[in-house]
Chains A and B, each alone.
Chain A
Amino acid sequence: MYILKRLITMLVTIWVIASLTFFIMKIIPGDPFASDADVLPEEVLQNIRAKYNLDEPIPVQYVLYMKDLATFDLGISIESESRTVNGIIWDGAPASALLGTQAMVIALIFGLLLGIVAALNHNKMLDYFSMFIAIVGISVPSFILAPLLINYFAVDWQMLPVASWGTWQHSILPSVALAATPLAVIARFMRSSMLEVMNQNYIKTADAKGLPTTKLVIRHGIRNAILPVVSFIGPLFVALITGTFVIEKIFAIPGIGRYFVDSIFNRDYPVIMGTTIFFSSILVLTLFLIDISYRFIDPRIKLTSGGD
């Protein structure tokens, strides 16, 4: 019952996002064929406009688009008219998803580790060291970190390929570059969460049982400290796997990151809509999965369809 209700809410959410994007997109001044207007005769332009229903009034365009969307048809790109938007997404998404997932795994493992180590050594050298790394991770943007990584690991030391996509060696540098910021954010978040938990009374109870320190930290500390972190991992994960403009551009990765940005500059309406709907669908779905997973990691949470 809860799941059914959530699924309906998810559909409504996506519809609202799609509608808002559609109208906001139409408000942006400009025209996908502005640069062609000088070259092409008026009749040809008319025909092209008609092909994309751009000659209809906006409400009609909206209805036509929604009809297509209902059948999962996202239309054809205006910029590269041989490709469907579905095709663009399917071609680019796997690379982006793989890159994002790898980055997320790196960020999670090292971020959590760093946060835990920092918290357990509160106000000692290791704490300062971890938080120094975290601050560097947050403040150094990926477009600086990525060229640095390329310079040392690929150019100077020749350990890894400079760019492009293919083997797993290709994915190492971009994954690391992409992981840096989320890693730092997770580390800081985990540290404060862990500090709070380690001050809880139940930690004292466990300590008074004579529990060995490792068991105390893992079973009672980390187990509880990780709960608030999970809730913000979701959106972070979505942001990573749906493609990242900067990293994909620098490493020449055939992902979908660039379409989010390019489509807006080109006024490539179907691609703007397609990437937005793709992103929001994955976001909504991930949030849903996280909510479900809470049921299993936090026994105090019961999934009910409204009411108390």
Chain B
Amino acid sequence: MNHLLEVNNLEVNFKTYGGEVKAVRDVSFHVNKGEIMAIVGESGSGKSVTVQSIMGLIPMPPGKINNGEALLHGQDLLKLSKKQMQKLKGSKMSMVFQDPMTSLNPTMKVGKQIEESITTHQKLGKAEVKKRAMEMIRLVGIPNPEERYNQYPHEFSGGMRQRIMIAIALACRPELLIADEPTTALDVTIQAQVLDLMKDLKEKMNTSIILITHDLGVVAETAERVAVMYAGVIVESGTVEEIFSNPRHPYTWGLLESIPDVNSETKERLVPIEGSPPDLFSPPKGCPFAPRCKYAMDVCVEAMPPGFESEEGHQAKCWLNDPRTPNVEELIAAGREEH
């Protein structure tokens, strides 16, 4: 067991006035040391909730972790006390959030915000802490650290703020960095810079990264393994090569199909996945994608498919992969052809 993080059968619900939302259902995945593992999925598919429950950031109530475990070095994070979690948060694992414009405290100097994550976990002299904070500012590629140290977040651009967020997250050299859509709110050009920075720092610090995104381009460029989430379930997971070249779940086909082709000469219409995701107040007992799936069989509506493993580590929760399914290879080949 050399996984840094192992999540098993995670189940998270939210109590609301309208009923209980089953946000995450039976999610299992793992992150190896030093790798980037991506979780993709549309809004509301449960990717943020998954990682926030690992970080202990789900407000409870209304949130509730019904089942599952999240093992960091074999230690179950979901069973730790608030105090024990506070020790791990920021030092062993940390997080970068989606919106850099609102994720920094507007009334606190940026340098102080970086220092705070150091002083929370390490006893160091004032000068030493400041030196470390400066070093982090320089490390995330911001020029003039001396001047920047004393500035406030509103004096930074979005991309620069996200770099500061990365500096805060990596200040204690955590083993696991969770990046929740870190580039979604940024310009395309800045996106690439921030992703490159994260990749670069990952190499330097040997940090593992969970990268949450809904951008398959980002996945292809940065990640080594990927999990596709839909309606609170990981429907397919595997190495990036496997998922892109040999997808085995109709939802993944749909996602890949919907990527616009930049090289196309003719004006093509975008290809959407028809329909909308199921109501998570009462998710269907079968496959959540079945109502939108053009390959759906009777069994799909009746029973949740188990994870079918094809290659080493490539899993797809789809009945099409069941050996009893007629013409399965043809169907999968056909599905692959289409995108």
Q: A residues within 8 Å of B by Cβ? A: 200-202, 204-213, 215, 219-220, 223-224, 227, 297-300
Contacts and interface: CB of A to CB of B under 8 A. Distances in A.
Given A299-B152, A300-B152, A209 B105 contact: no
Contact of B105 (A206, A212, A215): A206
Given A224-B105, A298-B107, A300-B154, A205 B88 contact: no
B87 A205 contact: no
Given A200-B102, A298-B107, A206 B116 contact: yes
Interface centre among B57, B85, B95, B107 (most CB of A within 10 A): B107
Given A212-B120, A220-B108, A205 B97 contact: yes
Contact of B120 (A200, A210, A223, A297): A210
A201 B57 CA distance: 11
Contact of B90 (A202, A208, A223, A297): A208
Contacts of A300: 106-107, 152, 154
B103 A205 contact: yes
B152 A204 contact: no
Interface string B69-102: 0000000000000100111111100110101001
B97 A204 contact: yes
A201 B97 contact: yes
Contacts of B104: 202, 205
A208 B108 contact: no
B33 interface: no
Contacts, number: 81
Given A208-B55, A210-B90, A201 B103 contact: yes
B239 interface: no
The residue in B120, B152, B154 that gathers the most chain A C-beta atoms within 10 A of its C-beta is: B120
Given A201-B103, A204-B103, A209 B97 contact: no
A204 B107 CA distance: 15
B93 to A, nearest CB: 9
B89 A208 contact: yes
A209 B102 contact: no
A198 to B, nearest CB: 10
9 contacts: A205-B104, A208-B94, A209-B117, A210-B91, A210-B120, A211-B90, A212-B86, A220-B108, A223-B105
A219 B108 contact: yes
B255 interface: no
A183 to B, nearest CB: 25
Interface in B194-210: none
B106 A211 contact: no
B175 to A, nearest CB: 14
A68 to B, nearest CB: 47
B7 interface: no
Nearest to A298: B107
B107 A299 contact: yes
A208 B55 CA distance: 7
A46 B197 CA distance: 90
Contacts of A213: 82, 86
Among A206, A219, A224, A297, the most chain B Cβ lie within 10 Å of the Cβ of A206
Contact of A210 (B86, B108, B109, B152): B86
Contacts of A208: 55, 57, 89-90, 94-95, 97, 169
B85 A210 contact: yes
Given A205-B105, A219-B116, A224-B105, 19 more contacts: A201-B97, A201-B99, A204-B97, A205-B97, A205-B103, A208-B95, A208-B169, A209-B89, A209-B168, A210-B85, A210-B117, A213-B82, A215-B120, A220-B105, A223-B107, A223-B108, A224-B106, A300-B106, A300-B107
